[in-house]
Structure 1
Amino acid sequence: MSAAEPAPGGRREEEDELAGWQRDLRRQFPIVTGHPGLAYLDSAATSQKPQAVLDAVHAYLTTTNANAGRGTYPWANETTRMVERTRRRVKDFLGDPDPDRSSVHFTSGTTEGLRIIARDWLTTHLADGDEIFVPFTDHRANLDPWREAQALLAARGVRVQVRALPVQAESFDYDHRALAALVGPRTRFVAATHVHHVYGGDMNVQRIRAAVGPDVPICLDAAQSVGHQPIRLGPGGLDVDFVVFSGHKALALPGTGAIWARGARGPALRPGGWPGTPNTVGIASLAAALDWLDAAGPERIADWTTALATRLTDRLRHLPAYEILGCQASLGADTALPPQQRRRGIVSLRHRGIPSDDLGFVLFSHGFMVRADSLCQSGADDRAVVRVSLHVYNTEEEVERLAGVLATLS
């Protein structure tokens, strides 16, 4: 059910029920309800936290706060058990089809997680003359680690080619047909992004497995999808070997993230070095956030934010002063596209006359908090943009009001 279109009479009850569901969830975010004059539209950078997560953090810090795996007294034991329960909770949330064979490693976020895989796994898995495919036009966190791995191997005399994952020119999805033509006997690894942090599109990563065959490990940057839409691993879903995400983008505390590693292709992931003290309070917040998301319904959250993004692009496409980045075929609410081909709650734009950083300041003066910079994007086009990124606590009224303010500037 799309909030971007008026419902026929037979669907009015469904629309009202969905709106009531969203109002109930919005009320659970104290920072949102505590600032009714502000609209937080930067959830792709970090999400706000529901009361259930704040309560879980308070409960942990006031009842069992201790180090994990380093003590035998009750608080330490309970903290250790909490960490292990959260590992299992991550597997369950991702729909892990074989949890007994996979592993979960906690990190400070997606960036660190990808670097761990590059440094501690990929560099042990490649030989001279091998090649890997990685995204050249996504977030630099999913490009720099693989180039760093290439440099580390080169220092040892191992030459590895880092090739660009091909992208379709119009849709900005990965071009699985072009990839299939490029893959060769020395292809050893593919890194991909699930939802693009600028264009907002689902990158159709499920097509990559067929393109590269059954034996090539695939690493998925899921920073913009975990917590925003359903994730299901394995056959019929995402047939990948690593999933990396940031807890702070999925309603948990900052400094929290995870690597899910299947370990069926190549050596198992074993992060190097002494692990040190884990971010136990962050891990406690992550468990609570995943519980909250499951109760709210990831599919409904995705439907809501996708509909809001569609509503915004439908308004902006009629304003010639604005360039909307990403697939142009999905701008209108009347476009016959399936939901997965629409923007997943992210709309990035440029004004043709107002610099993006200035536009960001103007929008804040009207009560809108948006991202306005280059968005850490790799590739040639690193000009600043304004990004509007939505979550379940955002409303149709906020989107309509934002569109109205942007119209006055056109």
Structure 2
Amino acid sequence: MSLTSLTAPVDPLSALGAWQRQLRAQFPILRGADAPVYLDSAATAQKPQAVLDAVHTYLVTANANAGRGIYTWANRTTELVERTRERVKSFLDDPDPARSTVHFTSGTSEGLRTIARDWLTEHLRDGDEIIVPFADHQANAQPWLEAQRLLTARGVRITVHDMPYEAESKDYDQAALAGLVTDQTRFVAATHVHHIYGNDMNVHRIRDVVGPDVPICLDAAQSVGHLPVSTTDLDVDFVAFSGHKAMALPGTGAVWARGARGPAFTPGGWSGSPNTAGILSMEAAFDWLEAAGLENIDRWSVALGVRLTDGLARLDSYEVLGCPLSLTADSDVQRRQGIVTFRHRDIGSSDLGFILAEHGLMVRADGHCQARGGETDSSVRVSLHLYNTPDEIDRLLDVLATLDRRNGARA
């Protein structure tokens, strides 16, 4: 869901309240009257009981190394890993699962770097050009520069263009992008949901701009597990994501490769032992997320973000990063996908993060791993998921409002 009208007759927070309470109760770490307020799901998501149970069952019934033995447990582990590979394809709405491949990684960063080193460097030739988003996460910038350095060392010169952005919306500038595309454009890297601004970057429009033959690589760290992601609709060639941001175990992720444009994707080197428990947790997480309903998860997170931005827009001491037209409850522009980032005009972001932590509000307060063209100053990021509640947003706003009043009294 890219567009949400806050003037809709039914408020998602009211319509989905019973649904949300039932699902929140399935997260052991969040149970109890004194449960902390966890507002850092863009870094890692909490795990439902179903995922924890699936991992426990595997570890006590079939724990072995995949692809390294012929005995029962090893065969069972290999079978489960391969089943998860197919589950990734179905979760991403793969248009051609017989052709595509899935490579398991420790997360999005490793996945993008693997694509850069093991695929892109073999695909490019002297004089080729690529387009990279330098105002997104550095994990979607550094690997492509590393590929350029590796190619330069071989005597292959390529040009790396900065992906253009619209100044106000922070979305990709499709018209300016069209001006960068030439007959030598061989690759475009993009981000599905921005890790600071929270906006859907409208990647589905890029295919029309770059044409039918240019491979597109998608950083889906902030979308997989948070909203429906269809590789059929997006028409991209690579999707890298982190399983731990999608309710699987820490240190898990995958690269999905379509295999239809350019050479087949084959990770180089010896892969070693896979993180079997982490891989299997992804299947359980995807099953749980689909049963919960990704469309409703998206609606809930967006509505919480609206509640937060509308509250922040009423406080003079705060600057909300991203599109300024999407802040208030009556705005009809594209909404933030459960990520809201802001600064206080006088209190440093690290200090603000400590203050919020003292009130039991766990947020991220730092530079958020921005690439060279992104925000240069630190900020506070609140990132939401289906287990967060309207009361938690109001609790956060109460603390921020108190700081706003104190700041006003000093001014």
TM-score using structure 1 length: 0.95
- Determine if contact 2:238/2:257 at 8 Å carries over to the other structure: yes
Give how far 1:336 is off.
1.9
Q: Give the Cα–Cα distance (whole angstroms) in 1 for the partners of residues 105 and 208 of structure 2.
A: 30
Structure 1 counterpart of 2:112: 114
Structure 2 counterpart of 1:288: 284
Q: Give the Cα–Cα distance (whole angstroms) in 1 for the partners of residues 14 and 163 of structure 2.
A: 43
Q: 296, 314, 322: which one pairs with 1:318? A: 314
- Note if 1:250 corresponds to 2:246: yes
- Determine if contact 2:13/2:300 at 8 Å carries over to the other structure: no
Q: 373, 396, 399: which one pairs with 1:402? A: 396
Instruction: State percent identity of aligned pairs.
Output: 67
Q: 25, 29, 37: which one pairs with 2:27? A: 29
Structure 1 counterpart of 2:81: 83
Q: Give the Cα–Cα distance (whole angstroms) in 2 for the partners of residues 327 and 67 of structure 1.
A: 48
- Determine if contact 2:5/2:331 at 8 Å carries over to the other structure: no
CA distance change for structure 1 residues 125 and 4 in 2, over 3 Å: closer, same or farther? Answer: closer
- Note if 1:336 corresponds to 2:336: no
Question: For 1:148-163, what aligned pairs fall within 5 Å after superposition?
Answer: 148-163=146-161
What amino acid is the match of 2:393?
V
- Determine if contact 2:226/2:294 at 8 Å carries over to the other structure: yes
TM-score using structure 2 length: 0.95
Structure 2 counterpart of 1:350: 343
Question: CA offsets, 1:289-348, max 9 Å, x none?
Answer: 0000000011100000000001000011111100000011110111123xxx21000000
What amino acid is the match of 1:391?
H
CA distance change for structure 1 residues 16 and 184 in 2, over 3 Å: closer, same or farther? Answer: closer
- Determine if contact 1:134/1:142 at 8 Å carries over to the other structure: yes
What amino acid is the match of 1:241?
D
What amino acid is the match of 1:313?
T
Question: For 1:266-281, what aligned pairs fall within 5 Å after superposition?
Answer: 266-281=262-277
Structure 1 counterpart of 2:409: none
- Determine if contact 2:5/2:332 at 8 Å carries over to the other structure: no
Q: 303, 310, 315: which one pairs with 1:307? A: 303
Q: 114, 134, 137: which one pairs with 1:136? A: 134
CA distance change for structure 1 residues 305 and 73 in 2, over 3 Å: closer, same or farther? Answer: same
Question: For 1:7-18, what aligned pairs fall within 5 Å after superposition?
Answer: 11=10, 16-18=14-16
Aligned-partner SS, 2:16:
helix
Q: Give the Cα–Cα distance (whole angstroms) in 2 for the partners of residues 132 and 336 of structure 1.
A: 34
Q: 47, 51, 59: which one pairs with 1:53? A: 51
What amino acid is the match of 1:140?
Q
Structure 2 counterpart of 1:364: 357
Unaligned runs of 5+ in 1: none
Give how far 1:404 is off.
1.1
What amino acid is the match of 1:150?
Q
- Determine if contact 2:28/2:48 at 8 Å carries over to the other structure: yes
Coordinate RMSD, CA, aligned: 1.7
Q: 69, 73, 81: which one pairs with 2:71? A: 73
- Determine if contact 1:103/1:262 at 8 Å carries over to the other structure: yes
Give how far 1:37 is off.
4.1
What amino acid is the match of 1:18?
L
